[in-house]
A and B are shown apart, each in its own frame.
Chain A
Amino acid sequence: MFTLRLAALALLCAPALAAGPNLGQPLTHGDLAAWEIHVLPDGKGLPPGSGTMAQGAPIFAQKCAFCHGEAGKGGVSTALVGAPPIKSIDSPKTIANFWPYSTTVFDFIRRAMPWQAPRSLTDDEVYALTAYILALNKLIGEQDVMNAQTLPKVKMPNRDGFIPRFPDRMPQPPERDL
């Protein structure tokens, strides 16, 4: 049913172009490069570049430890190292005990960190910080290089710890004419 609706939308697109306001500006390849920062769990969207734990350690000390504590042990902001067992619904969620995808670590650092100066890190620096945090959590080796090929292959311990509520537990929206 869902697929049919999408197909109907695709078919309607051509005639709709003439009737609609058409006030968008066509984007060509490259226009959005500075904004295209979504990284998908299979690694789509990861940029060129690479980094290691050794390269990440001094960047972390300079730009991250102020909030996250020395070696990510926690400070005014959450700890980035450690995997306490999940014993109750309010247990702390950490990268090692909860995050299902390693790509999310890269994506979140690149889009949102450091808190005071987001989007100020180079892609190599983001890879290095990702490697540093994953290695501190022993999710990769201390010598491992993180790049667009290696990062998506990092297996996170809680990958299979989730029960999706969508779509099975969601009511489907009514059919509508497009």
Chain B
Amino acid sequence: MEKLQPAAGNGLLDRRAFLRGGAALAAAMTGYSVKAETLAEPPWGKEPGDVVPPYGGPSKHEKGVVRTLSNPKGEPRTQHARTPHHLLQGTATPNGLHFTISHAGNADIDPAGHRLAIHGLVKRPLLFTLDALARYPMVSRFTFMECGGNSAPLFSPEPIQASVQALHGLASCAEWTGVPLSTLLEETGVDPKARWVVAEGADAPHLSRSVPLSKILDDAMVALYQNGERVMPGQGYPMRLLLPGWEGNMNVKWLRRLQLTEQPAMTYYESRTYAPILPGGKAYRFYFLQEVKSFITQPSVGLAMKGPGFYEISGIAYSGNGRIAKVMVSADGGKTWAQAALQEPVMSKSFTRFRIPWQWNGGPAVLQSRAWDDGGNVQPTRAEIVAQRGQAARVPSPLGFPSQHYNGITSWSVETNGEVRHVYA
């Protein structure tokens, strides 16, 4: 049997260990210390199963795999539903678990009565029905969606004890299918003076954001499908603006209007909400990009370790700049690092799953991940973020947004009793 090579301190193993022979690895790691039970035929093997439903859902035993709601009674304020990353694997977020933020509920739109107008600084203003848009040549792409306020609890001056769902649950990833906006703008024509596109939803707040025309022409689409089915109500049914890699709020849901302008509209969300205050008192404006980031989903807070032995450390990495090039993992709080395996296919502006085998010796460990993208951008440490962006004056609620655009490192402390805690390291 091949000797397993350590790749970094505190038990991190070479990411290729599995590739060289999973069976040998498993035998080496688990030790088979407990004898197997004697098997009998279980009840589900002795009678036919349930009737197949027209629209399938998860097993009734998976009822705990749900989003957490910030405003379950629909009080007159924003509702947030966060993705349970610690209970999921792979990279495609199931549609029912995709994060949602709705500022005045999910609009209930009759698709036959919905229209998309493109007007302003165009040569031919046009109105599209859903049926018309569905006849255009479409493209599909995987892309992550992330709220500009995702991970904001890490601006807290002290680590908030909350799960990866609470801390990082306002990011998800799906395959989106729709009509490239460059196609539609070819038909409307573009006035050479146009520089911005002000997008607006048909929901109650008529949410509006200004998007640079350069992004609209680069890779934006009017998305009609999400993981193969029509866009979910919480994602903007029957259509949303999709701006791969850019701040979630700009990906306007229930999209009904695109007005080409010379100047940005300085809407509520761009001039106030998503303008993070800097330590000197000034604030960033137009912080559009969701920058390179990663976090470990397993193990994480709420997933207690079951004794020393073998574990796979796994997590999610993504960058609004492009593809993830490398993820490094540490089990000793950043003293030593080992390179994680990246699950293929690694796609631009999409979740990338990383994994690395770990032999936990039962002692204290601090797990961290750090991502690089193919543009050479590196995920900052938390200390680097705080040095540049500051931190909150007081400990916020886990549901609060003391600032936006945190893409620094997250640290999980594995205690000797197997509990996992959120720490700053």
Contacts and interface: CB of A to CB of B under 8 A. Distances in A.
Interface stretch (B226-234, B256-264, B361-369): B256-264
Interface in A19-66: 20-27, 31-32, 35-42, 44
A178 B259 contact: no
B70 interface: no
A117 B191 CA distance: 36
Contact of B272 (A35, A104, A119): A104
Contact of B117 (A35, A87, A89, A173): A35
Contacts of B334: none
A176 B272 CA distance: 33
Contact of B186 (A26, A76, A118, A178): A178
A111 interface: yes
30 contacts: A6-B217, A10-B123, A13-B186, A16-B186, A20-B186, A21-B132, A24-B132, A25-B129, A35-B117, A37-B206, A38-B200, A77-B77, A86-B277, A86-B281, A89-B276, A89-B402, A90-B392, A91-B393, A103-B266, A107-B208, A108-B267, A115-B204, A116-B76, A118-B104, A163-B285, A166-B286, A167-B214, A171-B321, A173-B218, A178-B217
A174 B348 CA distance: 14
Given A6-B192, A40-B265, A86-B277, 4 more contacts: A2-B214, A6-B217, A93-B275, A165-B287
Nearest to B128: A24
Given A16-B187, A24-B184, A89-B277, A115 B375 contact: no
Interface in A94-143: 98-101, 103-104, 107-108, 111-112, 115-116, 118-119
Interface of B: 75-77, 103-104, 117-119, 123-129, 132-133, 135-137, 155, 182-192, 194, 198, 200, 204-208, 212-215, 217-219, 256-257, 259, 261, 263-268, 271-273, 275-279, 281-289, 321, 375, 389-394, 396, 402-403
Interface residues of A, number: 68
B189 A164 contact: no
A42 B272 contact: no
B162 to A, nearest CB: 17
Contact of A98 (B218, B272, B284, B289): B272
B127 A25 contact: yes
Nearest to A37: B206
Contacts of A101: 266, 271
Nearest to B219: A173
A13 B389 CA distance: 44
A148 interface: no
B284 A167 contact: no
Contact of A100 (B218, B271, B403): B271
B398 to A, nearest CB: 14
Nearest to A27: B125
A89 B187 contact: no
Contact of A161 (B261, B282, B396): B282
Contacts of A170: 288-289
B276 to A, nearest CB: 7
Contacts of A164: 284-286
Nearest to B401: A90
A83 interface: no
Nearest to A13: B189
Contacts of B266: 40-41, 100-101, 103-104
A42 to B, nearest CB: 7
A19 B2 CA distance: 62
A100 B286 CA distance: 13
A19 to B, nearest CB: 9
Given A40-B263, A171-B321, A9 B282 contact: no
A89 B391 contact: yes
A10 B277 contact: no
Contacts of A16: 186-187
A165 to B, nearest CB: 5
A108 B208 CA distance: 9
B181 to A, nearest CB: 11
Contacts of B213: 6
